[in-house]
Amino acid sequence: MAVNGVKVSSNLVLRIKTGTDKNGNDTFDTTTLRRIKTSSKDQDLFDVAQSVGTLLKNPIDAILRQDINELVNQ
């Protein structure tokens, strides 16, 4: 039998550079926008993240999409 993944939810995660530590390494924080439509296109999510980034004090280092899939045995 084949197993198929069915997308059940998506999140948009923004990794934000918050500064540097005492050793000079970058420090980061994350902000997660939950319950994003699973049908959202990557470009649309990227554009939203860029728009949100203009409102933040610190720069966005990475934009991540988390998809949660339910594995269904068919």
Residues 6+ apart with CB under 8 A from 65: 10, 11, 12, 13, 36, 42, 45
Q: With contact defined as beta carbons under 8 Å apart, do 71 and 4 qualify?
A: yes
Which 8-state DSSP code applies to residue 24?
A: S
Domain coordinates in residue numbering, the chain: 3-73
- Find tokens 């530590």 and name the residue: 21
Q: What is the pLDDT of residue 1?
A: 75
- Find tokens 């970058």 and name the residue: 26
Q: What is the pLDDT of residue 10?
A: 97
- Which pLDDT band, with edges at 50, 70 and 90, does 74 fall under? confident
> Per residue in 19-72, pLDDT tens?
999 999 999 999 999 999 999 999 999 999 999 999 999 999 999 999 999 999
